[in-house]
Amino acid sequence: MMSTVEKALILKEIELFSRIPGDDLARLAFLAEEVIFEPGEIVFEEGELGDALYLVLSGRAKIYRGKTVLAEVKEKDVYGEMALLDSEPRSASVSAIDELKCLRIARADFNDLLSERNSVARGIIQVLVKRLRVTSDELEEARQYTAPHSTG
């Protein structure tokens, strides 16, 4: 079992939590539970209501829709993060490729922390805004690249 301090140090390295102040990060680490999935075990399935985020400590998992693999996650990757912010159905399934050890943060616990500590919300919002800006820039570059060129 990992200590709360060990969990906090790992969480601090994750972009999504990188701007959360130390005391709040320690509280989040306290809420994070260690979970282990065996090879081939399903973590969650597409269409299920999202109720937690997972941070990979060791092992690998595949994210897929039907028979199409969308991504593979490995150590220090996060998946299911949208479930912390809304309760919409999962957009894909996840299953362990090999033994998969994760930290699981439940949405209910996260929401309780958010309601007590607005600095957590501010930190998450800053990271999400940064991601949105990068995505917007990438879309604009792609749009310019594929725009028809006039030969006037």
The CATH number linked to 115 is: 2.60.120.10
Answer yes or no: is 16 within a domain.
Answer: yes
Q: Which two tokens stand for residue 38?
A: 């065996």
Answer yes or no: is 56 within a domain.
Answer: yes
Answer yes or no: is 51 within a domain.
Answer: yes
Answer yes or no: is 34 within a domain.
Answer: yes
Domain that holds residue 81: 4-143
Q: Is 23 exposed, middle or buried (0-12, 13-18, 19+ CB in 10 A)?
A: exposed
pLDDT for the residue numbered 42: 97
Residue type present at position 71: A
Place of tokens 């570059």: 141
Answer yes or no: is 151 within a domain.
Answer: no
Residue numbers of the chain with a pLDDT score lower than 70: 147-152
Answer yes or no: is 108 within a domain.
Answer: yes
Answer yes or no: is 149 within a domain.
Answer: no
State the total domains in the chain: 1
Does the reported pTM lie above 0.85?
no
pLDDT for the residue numbered 130: 80
pLDDT for the residue numbered 148: 67
Answer yes or no: is 138 within a domain.
Answer: yes
